[in-house]
Structure 1
Amino acid sequence: MKKYFFKVLAQINKAILPSLSKRRVDLTKASKLQLALFGWRVYVTKNALD
């Protein structure tokens, strides 16, 4: 159930949230909001793959 939830959430994130790699955002110069977005996407992806 948890894995399914995160897979659906990952698909929603992919559709709605902007891709930082396509925008060529340098993580050393990223804003706090961009870092939070990056962390959120990593967290969701990690849990969707487990």
Structure 2
Amino acid sequence: MKKELFKVLAKLNKTVLPSFGKKQLDMSKAAKWQLAIIAWRYYVTRNSLD
């Protein structure tokens, strides 16, 4: 149940949230909201793969 929820969230993240990797964002110059999005995407991706 939990894994399916995170898989749906991962697909939603991919379509809705921006990808900072493609834009080659410098992590030391990233704003707080950009770091929050990166952390959220990491959390969801990590839980969808387990």
The TM-score normalised by the length of structure 1 is 0.96
More helix by share: 2
- Where does the alignment leave 5 or more consecutive residues of structure 2 unmatched? none
Q: How many residues are matched? A: 50
Q: Give 2:26's aligned residue.
A: 26
| Secondary structure at the counterpart of residue 28 of structure 1 | helix
Q: Which runs of 4+ in 1 moved over 4 A?
A: none
Q: Give the percent of matched residue pairs that are identical in Structure 1 and Structure 2.
A: 58
CA RMSD of aligned residues (A): 0.5
State TM-score, norm by structure 2: 0.96
